[in-house]
Structure 1
Amino acid sequence: MMTPTPKAFPAPETLLMHSGDMLLLDHITAFDAECTMATYRPQAQAWYADPNGNMPAWMGIELMAQTIAAHVGLLKQQQGLPPKQGVLLGTRRYHAHVPAFAADTLLEIKASVAFRDDSGLGAYDCVISNAASVVAEATLKVYEPEDFQSFLQGNTP
């Protein structure tokens, strides 16, 4: 497992297109060419909170996707390039070991490259853990089109 380093990483909002309540990463804690780790602490009063104030486990897919976006953003930053928009294509398997992530519990999200090519297509093996155990895992497929607007309009070759 990748060891977090004391190095200061950029704030997630500088790497992602998300902001405000839609930004679901608190900190980047580790990064290298093949993996990024981030943390998030679910909030009891957040828009996603269930009646008990917890984050439904299905939201883990978004935590994973944002960690992947941070990874790609950090890679771009190393190249002197700005972050680009990408899309989540889907998941091979998402398995949550709990029905919800407890409010105010620190979650650690790890996204490791399983596959990535020059076209922008990639797959990442992701794990979400709390202090006690793994609470969710999945392989997510993502795509970073060269021209995001053309991709949305269906004009990507």
Structure 2
Amino acid sequence: MSVPDIHELVPHSGAMSLLGRLLDADDESLHAEVAITPESMFYSEGAVGAWVGVEYMAQAVAAHAGWCARQKGEPVRVGFLLGSRKYACKVAAFAAGSVLKIEVRRALQGENGLGAFDCRIEDGSGAELATATITVFQPHNVEEFLQRSAK
């Protein structure tokens, strides 16, 4: 099976689609990659702030949801980042020229769309740079959920 373009799996577009490529995925995990360049969103003074690591992780979780949907013949759906727990980063910023590997692994997934993923970011040598647990919500019908939420 060929590896799909990661941009087809994440419901972000344009400059807000932060990940570079999908490395591999299965039912429980996904590995993605992002190269830090001057063209990277949030790039400033030779780096991307480490706080962006949470969004790299969240988009990798979204890519996993998209990959799983594709395996079932379903469309990619919108989801929501609810929060992060215990985000710990060993660097203040991700330097230009770095190639980061993002790994997300499902810790739990409820039938109601709530999920939690254990996440990590590594540098090119495999050294751990950041970890967190990311919590997400993917409603079965996003339009219906948003309409109910607006009331």
TM-score range, shorter chain: over 0.9
Look up the match of 2:117.
Answer: 124
How far 1:76 moved relative to its partner? 0.5
Do residues 65 (structure 1) and 63 (structure 2) align? no
What is the number of residues matched between the two proteins?
Answer: 149
Look up the match of 1:96.
Answer: 89
How far 1:131 moved relative to its partner? 2.1
Instruction: Name the amino acid aligned to 1:150.
Output: E
Do residues 76 (structure 1) and 75 (structure 2) align? no
Taking the TM superposition and a 5 Å limit, the aligned residue runs for 1:2-81 are 8-50=2-44, 52-81=45-74
User: Percentage identity across aligned positions?
Assistant: 37
1:78-101 superposed Cα distances (whole Å, 9 cap, x missing partner): 100001000000011111110000
1:2-31 superposed Cα distances (whole Å, 9 cap, x missing partner): xxxxx6311111111111211111111111
Moved over 4 A (4+): none
Taking the TM superposition and a 5 Å limit, the aligned residue runs for 1:138-153 are 138-153=132-147
CA distance in 2, matches of 1:130, 1:44: 18
**Is the contact made by 2:16 and 2:41 (CA closer than 8 Å) also made in structure 1?**
no
How far 1:154 moved relative to its partner? 4.1
Instruction: Name the amino acid aligned to 1:53.
Output: G
How far 1:148 moved relative to its partner? 1.5
CA distance in 2, matches of 1:19, 1:155: 24
Higher strand share: 2
TM-score normalised over the length of structure 1: 0.89
The alignment yields a C-alpha RMSD, in angstroms, of 1.5
TM-score normalised over the length of structure 2: 0.92
CA distance 1:97–1:153, shift in 2 (3 Å): farther
CA distance 1:44–1:117, shift in 2 (3 Å): same
Taking the TM superposition and a 5 Å limit, the aligned residue runs for 1:107-122 are 107-122=100-115
CA distance in 2, matches of 1:47, 1:16: 16
Structure 1: segments with no counterpart, 5+ residues: 1-6
**Is the contact made by 1:45 and 1:53 (CA closer than 8 Å) also made in structure 2?**
no
CA distance 1:47–1:79, shift in 2 (3 Å): closer
Structure 2: segments with no counterpart, 5+ residues: none
1:40-75 superposed Cα distances (whole Å, 9 cap, x missing partner): 00122434112x220100000110011001111111
CA distance in 2, matches of 1:153, 1:19: 23
